[in-house]
């Protein structure tokens, strides 16, 4: 498993991303309460790395987790993810005020579902 799994920062705009050296980012998108944050804890084998809740809407920011200094796991709010996910898949270039719609688009390598 991974040795280093640490919370780095929470952001609300791509401008504040901690990823300055272009590491891969593995981002979990999906509607609220489906278990995105829980999945991050499962993958990293840490119980409390990502905060989870039985109530929808727990994750309200884009949270970066540094994994072995080699890539990031990124947790996003359910509501935010839904909206942007479809925008990304539809190839619509229009970004929001702070350009977050382009956040994944420029980095995206693969989508699994």
Ligand X SMILES: Nc1nc2c(ncn2[C@@H]2O[C@H](COP(=O)(O)OP(=O)(O)OP(=O)(O)O)[C@@H](O)[C@H]2O)c(=O)[nH]1
**β partners of residue 65:** 7, 73
Q: Write down the H helix ranges in 1-113.
A: 36-44, 78-90, 101-105
Instruction: Among 5, 37, 67, 104, indicate the residue that binds Mg ion (CB under 5 A).
Output: 37
For residues 69 and 20, the answer to whether their CB atoms sit within 8 Å is no
The yes or no reply on residue 34 touching ligand X (CB under 6 A) is yes
What radius of gyration do the chain's Cα atoms show?
Answer: 13
Give which of Mg ion, ligand X, none residue 63 binds (C-beta under 5 to 8 Å, depending on kind). Answer: none
- Partner in contact with 53, chosen from ligand X, Mg ion, none, beta carbon below 5 to 8 Å by kind: ligand X
The binder of ligand X chosen from 27, 66, 77, 104 (CB under 6 A): 77
Q: Does 32 bind ligand X (CB under 6 A)?
A: yes
Cβ distance to ligand X smaller for residue 48 or 93:
48
Would you count residue 47 as binding ligand X (CB under 6 A)? no
DSSP code of residue 49? S
Distance CA 23, CA 72 (A): 7
Indicate whether 66 belongs to the interface with Mg ion (CB under 5 A). Answer: no
* Minimum distance from residue 21 beta carbon to ligand X (Å): 27
Between CA 65 and CA 108 the distance in angstroms is 18
């Amino acid at each position: 498993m991974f040795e280093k799994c640490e919370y780095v920062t929470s952001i609300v705009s791509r401008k504040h991303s901690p990823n300055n050296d272009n590491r891969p980012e593995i981002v979990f998108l999906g509607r609220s309460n489906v278990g995105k944050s829980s999945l991050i804890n499962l993958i990293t084998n840490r119980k409390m790395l990502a905060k989870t809740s039985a109530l929808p809407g727990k994750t309200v920011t884009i949270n970066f987790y540094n994994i072995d200094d080699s890539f990031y796991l990124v947790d996003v709010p359910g509501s935010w993810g839904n909206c942007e996910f479809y925008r990304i898949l539809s190839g619509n270039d229009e970004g929001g005020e702070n350009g977050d719609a382009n956040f994944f688009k420029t980095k995206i390598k693969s989508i699994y579902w």
